[in-house]
Structure 1
Amino acid sequence: MFRTTARLIEGIIDMMLLVTLTVMVVSICWQVFGRYVLNHAPGWTEETARFLMAWITMLGSAMVIRRDGHVAVTFVADALPPAPRAVIAWVRDALILTMSGALVWYGWQFARIGARRESAALEISMFWPHLAIPVGGALIALLLALRRAGLAAGEGDAP
């Protein structure tokens, strides 16, 4: 059950990442084409790429959490017996949940403050680019919880 739910969420995030990455690449290519071929770079392309990079970073971080794929130095934990290694993993996950909670809380406050301003080129509320922070934090917490619940239910470590 946990694995199925996590895979459904991952599928949605994968699609969002595909769309945002595609739009970002097209935006950057148009920026380069405009600058070097047309001698006039459109202003919206750089801002679009910057905002999408924030979304890609936060959504991608959540995806990697599920697969336990973030960069880590594990030589000390790997040298320990299974019981202390499990304790270290739980402490690590508790710290990640704490930090993702901070991302949600403070990111939401930041997005609300940003709602008062408009971006220079796109003229959209800065709420939308800043919303990547709390959404990413919530997804990190959710996918980590699903991973932990799946492990506890005996679903193994595979996504």
Structure 2
Amino acid sequence: MKRVDRLLEITLGSLMALMVLDVTWQILTRFLPMSPSSYTEELARYLLVWIGLLGAAYAYRTRSHIGIDLLTSNLPPKARKVSQLFTISVCFLFAAAVMVFGGIQLVMLTFELNQVSAALNIPMGYVYGVIPLSGTLICIFGVTQLLEVLGGEGVVHPSGDQSAELAPAQA
């Protein structure tokens, strides 16, 4: 799983660097030769979509997404475990149904209809392909978290640290 994490980190960093270069180029071509580049805005938009969805999968993996633990932090350990299992299961089901299944249907439909982007002239299926990809990653990370909780570890961060709010209450 560490390799997947590292690959995701490198991919996100590369996409961010590419977006910075793209937007920089857009600014330079707008003001220096007075002939703005025609594809940079669209590329930046699609890069932002990829960064957002892959970043959501990465945040789910590292448990850095926003969570409200006001109720669960005061639960007894067994109820907290049930709450964790329920939450992880709901996230898994959403990712599987909406992102993977629905995303695959969307990608296939756009390829079937030969939809292409206006400026870059690339098939939109490649742009939408990040939806089932990030959904699959969220499903994989969800299974990992379910196994950790069922194994009695609680939900462990990829770094190996168990968050204080998820640790069993001490007597």
TM-score between the two structures when normalised by the length of structure 1: 0.89
Corresponding residue of 1:141: 139
More helix by share: 1
Task: Quote how far apart the aligned CAs of 1:61 are.
Answer: 1.1
Q: Does 1:29 align with 2:24?
A: yes
Q: Which amino acid aligns with 1:47?
A: E
Identity of aligned residues (%): 27
Task: Report the Cα distance in structure 2 between the residues aligned to 1:84 and 1:155, rounded to whole angstroms.
Answer: 15
- Counterpart among 108, 122, 125 of residue 123 in structure 2: 125
Q: 1:155 to 1:81 in 2, by over 3 A?
A: closer
**Residue deviations 1:18-58 (CA, integer Å, cap 9, x gap):** 11111111101111111122222211111111111111111
Task: Report the Cα distance in structure 1 between the residues aligned to 2:8 and 2:46, rounded to whole angstroms.
Answer: 17
Task: Quote how far apart the aligned CAs of 1:73 are.
Answer: 1.2
Q: 1:78 to 1:155 in 2, by over 3 A?
A: closer
Task: Report the Cα distance in structure 1 between the residues aligned to 2:125 and 2:82, rounded to whole angstroms.
Answer: 39
Q: Does 1:60 align with 2:55?
A: yes
Q: Which amino acid aligns with 2:67?
A: A
Task: Quote how far apart the aligned CAs of 1:152 are.
Answer: 4.2
Task: Report the Cα distance in structure 2 between the residues aligned to 1:18 and 1:71, rounded to whole angstroms.
Answer: 21
Indicate conservation of the 8 Å contact 2:115/2:124, yes or no: yes
Corresponding residue of 1:82: 77
Task: Quote how far apart the aligned CAs of 1:148 are.
Answer: 2.9
Task: List alignment gaps of at least 5 residues for structure 1.
Answer: 1-5
**Residue deviations 1:89-138 (CA, integer Å, cap 9, x gap):** 11111110011012111111111122221111111111100001110100
Q: Does 1:73 align with 2:68?
A: yes
TM-score between the two structures when normalised by the length of structure 2: 0.84
Q: Superposition RMSD on alpha carbons, in Å?
A: 1.6
Q: 1 or 2 for the larger relative contact order (CA 8 Å, sep ≥6)? A: 1
Q: Which amino acid aligns with 1:109?
A: Q
Task: Report the Cα distance in structure 1 between the residues aligned to 2:50 and 2:40, rounded to whole angstroms.
Answer: 16
Task: Quote how far apart the aligned CAs of 1:7 are.
Answer: 0.8
Task: List alignment gaps of at least 5 residues for structure 2.
Answer: 159-171
